Structure 1
Amino acid sequence: MEAERFGCIIVGGGIAGLSAAMVLARHEVPFLLIERGAYSGAKNVSGGVLWGTDLARLVPEYWNDPNASFERFINHRRLTFLDEQSAFSIDFKSSHYDTPPYMGVTVLRAIFDRWLADKVQEAIDRSACADASFLAFDVLVERLLVEDGRVVGVEAGGERFYADCVILAEGVNNLLTRQIGLQAEYVPADHMAVGVKEVLRFDRRVLEDRFQLSERSGMANEFIGAITDGVEGGGFLYTNRTTVSIGLVLGMADLRRKRKKPYELLDRFKAHPVVADMIRGGEVVEYSAHVVSTGDMRAMPRELYADGVLVAGEAANLLLNAGKAIQGMDFAMHSGILAAETVLEARRVGDFSAATLRRYRERLEQSYVLQNMRNFQAAVRLLHEPVMYERMPRLVCDLGREFFRVENRPAPKLRQILREVVRRHSSLPELLKLTYRAWKAL
């Protein structure tokens, strides 16, 4: 019996894979998407903010869908520096962000990915190739099929499937990307992190009152400082409809060097007096951990394309945390879209060689994904230096304590307070040097 052949095979049913599938379905390209989970999202533990407006491209006016699975839109941003007892926040909230398409929405991946897969299936059903495109779940892709140096298909579930092109959206454990030599066998632990997260349930009215939310508005709060017990990393808290996602992203190598356990550090974070007030009364309904890239471009595969194959999303280690936001899901979505558009172009010219598929890399370089990653590499590396998650948060919190202190004695001028606080934690030349580096990095 002749093996089945598709226009494209997508490995992975996460955000990158589903985004590519949506584009292909709308352009009536027969494809096979293979996901090892029982459904899209079954293997995803991430829950955070999907930034940007690409979701509106894939699902126009998704906010009007009564079944839309986003949790809340973000109109409130907060960056918090912590020492052992205090918090100093940069806080911004604006009704400018209340109008769709939203700047960002919080999602729970097990719910969101399943909804997006349903939308892809609807697009398949409306297409001319409804009988030739499939979403296959609970199937593991064992290996890529390579002939004369070109990827021609996959072996999955004991069967072989062939295609003009394969899009690898397999996630951070990118074994297939490694099989064809695009990724080094082992990425240095210095470029990888462990994300650990809990989802806490609240009464909806309690949650909205506590975080000053109305209707479907939401808040994204990032944390830097004493919460990690000297381990490289930071924390986050995102509001969902009736829950909050709270967690840490911790440097893998630093965890190992300092012999710390992620869940113990998460408990320490939750016990911080400021954080404890924020989550008081919440019921833990989910715990998860996940390996992620730190956003250092040295963790990326040596290339994102080869003959017959493209690499998208987490498999390409596309992520950025430069202190402004943790961007990963939006990078996955955009790279999936660009990968599918490259497949469409290759179909038009009838050439799936690396010479044509290199347009994917060019598209990424022209997009905000790789431009942001390149432009903010200095910020990524600065954030992972001890001064940024140890001394700087303590300095900022000490400054806040002294500035807002009111006593029955003459109050010092701000310049006197600043001089004394800097002397305790650093020196003026060092602070000026760090400020200059941060200015250049951001």
Structure 2
Amino acid sequence: MATLRKNGNTHSFDIMEKFAQHPFISSLVEGGQLQEYSAHFVYEGGYEDMPRAYGNGYMLVGDTAGFSFSNGMILQGMNYAISSGILAGEAAIEARKDNDFSAESLSRYQKKLDNSPAVLDKKNFQGISNVVWSPMVHRAMPALLESSLYSMLYESGNPKKHLSQIMMKSLKSSGMSSKDLMLQGYRLMRRM
């Protein structure tokens, strides 16, 4: 980003516009009409659900290949789009040298991907969507945190309680058992 800022490219639309004007690209998009601007596919599936990233005459990169990452707190994708695009470019150059764009030839792209952060992150965080998109994480746990913080920060004129007392009271009022909380916490820690 520092290099991009130094060169005056701080916005993604500026970078995309300069990309479209590049001599290798401009002839490919000349006469094309803008259909949609800045749309993204946020892939929520895990590694096991990713499509095959290559076939006869094509390679999938970025969002299309399922290269986005969400652990419930952050969402990433641009880094994977760039790295998968670079790897696809390398595979295309190699395929061009061989004058072979068959699925068998382009399978070298998958081999490159298998050692890249894009795929390794998907493998490392396999199954995370089952945890972070659960009703407990999106309903019960936020209610528990809200109740606890309210009890800690609200001035009622009564003596303050210890955090353990506040948490236990909030846990009881949330309808979640301490066993469920520990189990969900364990699942989150394993996946995150």
TM range (shorter): 0.7 to 0.9
What does residue 372 of structure 1 align with? 121
Q: Distance in 2 between matches of 1:376 and 1:367?
A: 14
Pairwise CA RMSD: 2.8
Q: What's 1:362 paired with?
A: 111
Q: Secondary structure at the match of 2:41?
A: strand
Distance (Å, rounded) in 2 between the aligned partners of 1:347 and 1:294:
30
Figure out how many residues of one structure are paired with residues of the other and give that number. 188
2:159 paired residue number: 410
Question: How far has the Cα of 1:396 moved from its partner?
Answer: 1.0
Match of 1:296 among 37, 45, 49: 45
The AA in structure 1 aligned to 2:147 is D
TM-score w.r.t. length of structure 1: 0.39
Aligned pairs for 1:207-218 (under 5 A) are none
2:71–2:128 CA contact under 8 A, matched in 1:
yes
1: CA distance between counterparts of 2:169 and 2:54? 54
Q: Are the structure 2 counterparts of residues 324 and 409 from structure 1 closer, same or farther at C-alpha, using a change threshold of 3 Å?
A: closer
1:306 aligns with 2:61: no
- For 2:54 and 2:121, how far apart are their aligned partners in 1? 20
Report the CA distance between 1:296 and its aligned residue.
0.6
2:131 to 382, 385, 390: 382
Aligned to 2:158, the other structure's residue is in SS state coil
Code of the aligned partner of 1:134: S
Within 5 A, what are the aligned runs for 1:13-412? 61-66=3-8, 68-70=9-11, 107=12, 109=13, 111-118=14-21, 121=22, 124=23, 134-139=27-32, 292-297=41-46, 299-301=49-51, 303-412=52-161
**Larger fraction in strand:** 1
Q: Give 1:334's aligned amino acid.
A: S
Unaligned runs of 5+ in 1: 1-52, 71-106, 125-129, 141-170, 172-287
> Deviations 1:191-248 (Å, cap 9, x if unpaired)?
xxxxxxxxxxxxxxxxxxxxxxxxxxxxxxxxxxxxxxxxxxxxxxxxxxxxxxxxxx
1:299 Cα offset (Å) = 4.8
Cα distance in structure 1, aligned partners of 2:140 and 2:101: 52
The whole-number CA distance in structure 2 between the counterparts of 1:408 and 1:402 is 12
Rounded Cα–Cα distance in structure 1 between residues aligned with 2:172 and 2:31: 59
C-alpha contact 2:69 2:122 (8 A) present in aligned 1: yes
Contact preservation (8 Å) 2:62, 2:82: yes
Unmatched tracts of structure 2, length 5 or more: none
SS for the counterpart of 1:359 is: helix
Provide the rounded CA distance (Å) in 2 between the counterparts of 1:409 and 1:346: 74
- Contact (CA 8 Å) 1:295, 1:321: kept in 2 or not? yes
Letter in 2 for 1:377: Q
Contact 1:395 1:422 (8 Å CA) reproduced = yes
Aligned CA distance change for structure 1 residues 309 and 320 (closer, same or farther; 3 Å): same
TM-fit CA distance, 1:389: 1.3
Shift of 1:368: 0.9
Distance 2:103 2:96 in 1: 13
Does the residue aligned with 1:392 lie in a helix, a strand or coil?
helix
SS at match of 2:93: helix
Listed one character per residue, the Cα deviations across residues 350-376 of structure 1 (whole Å, up to 9, x for unaligned) are 433323311211211211111112222
Alpha-carbon distance in 1 for matches of 2:157, 2:106: 71
Inter-CA distance 289–398: structure 2 relative to 1 (3 Å threshold): farther
Distance in structure 1 (CA, Å) of the matches to 2:53 and 2:72: 26
SS at match of 1:293: coil
3-state SS, counterpart of residue 28 of structure 2 = strand
Supply the distance in 1 between the matched residues of 2:31 and 2:150 (Cα, whole angstroms). 54
Answer 1 or 2: higher relative contact order, Cα 8 Å, separation at least 6.
1
Does the CA contact (< 8 Å) of 1:293 and 1:299 recur in 2? no
